[in-house]
Amino acid sequence: MRVVFAGTPEFAVPALRAACGKAEVVAVYTQPDRPAGRGRGLQASPVKLEALSRGIPVLQPESLKTQVARDALRALKPDLMVVVAYGLLLPQKILDIPEDGCWNVHASLLPRWRGAAPIQRAIEAGDAETGVCLMRMEKGLDTGPVLLSQSLSIGEGETGGQLHDRLADLGAQVLSDGLGLLRAGIRPVPRPQPDDGVTYAHKLDKAEAKLDWSQPAEALERKVRAFNPWPMAEAVLAGERVRIHGAIAIAAPSGATPGTVLAAGREGIDVACGEGALRVRVLQRDGGKAITAADYLNARRDLAAGA
């Protein structure tokens, strides 16, 4: 079974490994190398690095809309194309090339959270459950019929990064199951997505990371978790801009102006919100590293004394 794999970030690496265990991966498509780091040198994607370590040919077109791109894929004679967080649009003429079509591993329980950031949006919305769908791709954005799916519970206090890793592993397992069936001559039955329950997980924006203390503390706690490790929540705390790595919502008397520090101690820094208070436990000053609230207060004696 000749498989072409398309993916770019770390999330797709476990799925690539799973594909290699069930089929002959004849080529890997990934995004072109991008400038990264302080030196802005070109950096290969995690999927490219994994493919090269396995001796798999790597293709990095800027677009798949050209005749050249179609000819290159057709020359690989793929039975199936597997797409996991690739980042490029697949036109219908590309989708039509593999004999068994194109499969996509998507990190949500479709039709909820179609789009770019399903992991973070699920946490931000307060969902208790999410999962992975193996979907047969069509032209629409994550609209194709679902072939296989697996669900999991979102842990209390779980961050975007932690859920990302669990879903990456689950996605690899679901893909492995699907490829195993196909290799055995069993085609997974496509189930059309229902019209009800469609939501879109819009791409993350750094501007969203700025916390508004007038919002309820529970909403801010979810945002802190969802945006860890990127773009990382930030706020003005007692006059200083900080990034917030860890926080919990707590009950607090109403009436305090949002943004007011209510208490500060080893357990955290309690900040009044529109409803309740947010207890900041781990934070980061400009140019510094993530530290506990207790360590932060050692440098902010004024804050500890005034709270």
Give the annotated binding-site residues for (6S)-5,6,7,8-tetrahydrofolate: 108-111
CA distances (Å), 67 to each of 28, 144, 287, in order? 19, 25, 48
d(C-alpha 307, C-alpha 252), whole Å: 14
In total, the chain counts a number of residues equal to 307
Residue 193 · residue 143 · CB < 8 Å: yes
Query: Long-range contacts made by residues 47-54, C-beta under 8 angstroms, separation at least 24?
Result: 47/5, 47/7, 47/8, 47/9, 47/12, 47/13, 47/16, 50/13, 50/16, 50/17, 51/5, 51/16, 51/25, 54/20, 54/25
In the chain, DSSP assigns E strands to 2-7, 24-29, 34-36, 41-43, 58-59, 80-84, 102-106, 114-115, 129-136, 146-153, 200-201, 233-237, 240-250, 261-265, 268-272, 277-285, 290-292
Reading the block at residue 123, the tokens are: 């946490």
Annotated binding site: 108-111
Query: Which residues are registered as beta bridge partners of 6?
Result: 29, 83
Instruction: Say which residues have a Cβ less than 8 Å from residue 107's Cβ, sequence separation at least 6.
Output: 11, 118, 119, 130, 132, 164, 167, 168, 171
Q: Check the CA dihedral 288-292-296-298 and report its sign.
A: negative
Question: β-strand 268-272 against 277-285: which pairing, if any?
Answer: antiparallel
